[in-house]
Structure 1
Amino acid sequence: MRFTLRQLEVFLATAFHENLTRAADSLAMSQSAASSALRDLESQFDVQLFDRVGKRLQLNELGQTIRTRAQGLIEQAASLETALAQHEDVGHLKVGATLSIGNYLAVEIMARYMVEQPGARVELEVANTATIARKVANFELDIGLIEGEVYHPELDMQHWRDDELVVFCAPDHPWAGKPWLTDAELLKADWIVREPGSGTRQHFEWAMHGLLPELDIKLELQHTEAIKRAVEAGLGIGCLSAITLGDAFRRGSLVPLPVPQRDFRRGFYFVLQKNKFRSAGIQRWIQMCREAVPGAGE
């Protein structure tokens, strides 16, 4: 093999920091050692991976091409090192989840994973779909659990489970108890919905095709609980995942509004970096998520 893992680490750190001194510091190396490693990597293959722009080292087209593959190799090596050092295959995970999944599904799965794997840690980051997808693509997260589909050339999408959005209102709203809402009534409503970039908002807009330009979006909020409280207060009607509304419907603090002419069905997905090594921990996490789906295996 004509390159070393250390050379790849220097290459990746330099790509991230765009500065050799900061890259060396992040790897606890001297600047001269880091410079020598990067120079040797380029000279061994007679290539240039960076453009020198003032004091910055900016990845050129070739550097961009090999960056994700190099990151994948480093991830595999780190996973092997962990397994050898700890004598185990399943361990620490960095998981990203969208708000509905993170608040209503992922915590329980995380608890089961940590009980099953004593000493294992799971870092859970909750954000919207666009943020989770970006962080998985950049190797900042091991796996993402997202609502709806995204396209990215470096991401692998796998269906996890089905979901459905539900339109709802306060129990004292004039429409509470209606057998269904017509499209004309949807256009009259004051809507309280998730922010752009969220999977819930994405599918809400798909379901409302043909009506979207005329809908009255009164509030856009980042948190499902804030939307539920605003609807309870009579500020308008909302549309959220069914998994977030079960308790409120059982209590009677919110009531569903059927809209049979609109398709609110959607999926939850696993999202992974195509070049990332699928460790035993990642595979076990996916398996536990599938086992948690109601009716799975029946």
Structure 2
Amino acid sequence: MSTLNLDQVASFLSISRNLSFRAGARVRGLSQGAISQQIQKLEAQLGVRLIERDSAGCSLTYEGRVFLPYAERLLTLSTNALGAFRDKPITIGASSNIGIYLLSPYVKAYLKGANEKSQLDVKIYQNPTVADKLATGEVDVAAMEWWDGRPGYEARLWRHEELVVIVPPNHPWASLKCLPRDMLKGVPLLGGEPGTGTGRILANYYGVDAPEITVGMQLGSTDAVKHWVKAGLGVSLVLASSVIEEIRAGMLVSVPLEDGGPQKALYIIWRDTLAENHPAHRFGSWLVSCADGSGADIHH
């Protein structure tokens, strides 16, 4: 089954609007001979004559007037289809810690660089919600704190983030250079409940001893955890990058665990059906390249 050539349809519309082959060709950036050939091919495919020439210029035939609304709809649909992907902002879904504490300097650098015409829309959710919205297409590219390896996606390791113990300045651990791992056993932690990214990391880090790590309160966000630690209601294990401001201000003290402690792997993920030239694919690849040193210089 043959299909209509949209370039030929666009030339037909240009001539019909200008009532002149010469003017229509000029608007299209074509020679008069080239646009004439396009109309001849379109008429041959449709099996009718669309345009009549005369000494005053040209006019649409009866068949040309019948074809006109179809041609307009075809070009409108084509423009809308292209715009759905070319002009649509890239929607980045970020898990809470990444979206709040890590992503903003990267977005700023991307928009300032050669990609200044790009449109980025950032939406921050809990990690499972980001995964769900990536699956439904509401998110084009995701920055996540854990990934379950489900098929149909391209997941790239972005960076590793150190986890540190945070305590108030007057806490007995505040003067320690590092915390022996056994000291967390039996101490109720704020946050890090099973099923969360931090909970998974603690389970891997402590192995068979993981049941000795207890969670005192499930507060739901790093911001809530920090407020409760500052109030002297417990200690917690958080991303080092999430407490930079509080450490500088003297409101909290971070204590690394011995032997480097656990680290959290962060991932950039997109659907594997995205073409390499898709804006979301380009942005995701750029983020990954920043982490390996080949991308932009990012300052936090």
TM-score between the two structures when normalised by the length of structure 2: 0.63
Q: 1:204 to 1:177 in 2, by over 3 A?
A: same
CA shift, 1:84, in A, is 4.5
**Residues 87-98 of structure 1: pairs in structure 2 closer than 5 A:** 92-98=89-95
CA shift, 1:128, in A, is 2.4
Does the 8 A contact of 1:93 with 1:142 survive in 2?
yes
Pick one of 172, 175, 186 that aligns with 2:173: 175
Residue equivalent to 1:102: 99
Residue equivalent to 1:203: 201
Q: 1:192 to 1:226 in 2, by over 3 A?
A: same
Residue equivalent to 2:267: 269
Task: Measure, in 2, the Cα distance between the counterparts of 1:186 and 1:194.
Answer: 12
Task: Measure, in 1, the Cα distance between the counterparts of 2:225 and 2:194.
Answer: 14
Amino acid at match of 1:103: I
Instruction: Verify: 1:220 aligned to 2:218, yes or no.
Output: yes
Amino acid at match of 1:224: T
Residue equivalent to 1:49: none
CA shift, 1:252, in A, is 1.8
Aligned-partner SS, 2:203: helix
Does the 8 A contact of 2:165 with 2:257 survive in 1?
yes
Amino acid at match of 1:162: H
Consecutive unaligned residues in structure 1, runs of 5 or more: 3-79
Q: 1:150 to 1:188 in 2, by over 3 A?
A: same
Amino acid at match of 1:174: P
Which of 1 and 2 has higher RCO (CA within 8 Å, sep 6+)? 1
Task: Measure, in 1, the Cα distance between the counterparts of 2:204 and 2:246.
Answer: 25
Q: Give the RMSD, CA atoms, in angstroms.
A: 3.1
Task: Measure, in 1, the Cα distance between the counterparts of 2:181 and 2:158.
Answer: 31
Does the 8 A contact of 1:100 with 1:224 survive in 2?
yes
Task: Measure, in 1, the Cα distance between the counterparts of 2:79 and 2:192.
Answer: 42
Percent same amino acid among aligned pairs?
26
Amino acid at match of 1:96: G
Task: Measure, in 2, the Cα distance between the counterparts of 1:265 and 1:145.
Answer: 16
Moved more, 165-174 or 276-285: 276-285
Does the 8 A contact of 1:90 with 1:281 survive in 2?
no
CA shift, 1:118, in A, is 5.7
Instruction: Verify: 1:285 aligned to 2:271, yes or no.
Output: no
Instruction: Verify: 1:247 aligned to 2:245, yes or no.
Output: yes
Consecutive unaligned residues in structure 2, runs of 5 or more: 3-77
Q: 1:242 to 1:81 in 2, by over 3 A?
A: farther
Aligned-partner SS, 2:154: strand
Does the 8 A contact of 2:188 with 2:234 survive in 1?
yes
Aligned-partner SS, 1:180: coil
Instruction: Verify: 1:257 aligned to 2:245, yes or no.
Output: no
Pick one of 146, 149, 164 that aligns with 2:162: 164
Alignment: residue pair count: 220
Task: Measure, in 2, the Cα distance between the counterparts of 1:272 and 1:81.
Answer: 25
Task: Measure, in 2, the Cα distance between the counterparts of 1:275 and 1:284.
Answer: 13
Task: Measure, in 2, the Cα distance between the counterparts of 1:181 and 1:113.
Answer: 38
CA shift, 1:242, in A, is 1.4
Residue equivalent to 1:12: none
CA shift, 1:253, in A, is 1.3
Task: Measure, in 2, the Cα distance between the counterparts of 1:278 and 1:142.
Answer: 13
Amino acid at match of 1:108: P
Residue equivalent to 1:129: 127
Amino acid at match of 1:285: F
Amino acid at match of 1:176: A
TM-score between the two structures when normalised by the length of structure 1: 0.63
Aligned-partner SS, 2:159: strand
Amino acid at match of 1:218: G
Amino acid at match of 2:215: I
Amino acid at match of 1:230: W
> 1:93-130: CA deviations, max 9, x gaps?
11111111100222333344445556643222212222
Residue equivalent to 1:142: 140
CA shift, 1:225, in A, is 1.1
Task: Measure, in 2, the Cα distance between the counterparts of 1:149 and 1:229.
Answer: 28
Aligned-partner SS, 1:211: helix
Does the 8 A contact of 2:162 with 2:262 survive in 1?
yes
Residue equivalent to 2:29: none
Aligned-partner SS, 1:271: strand
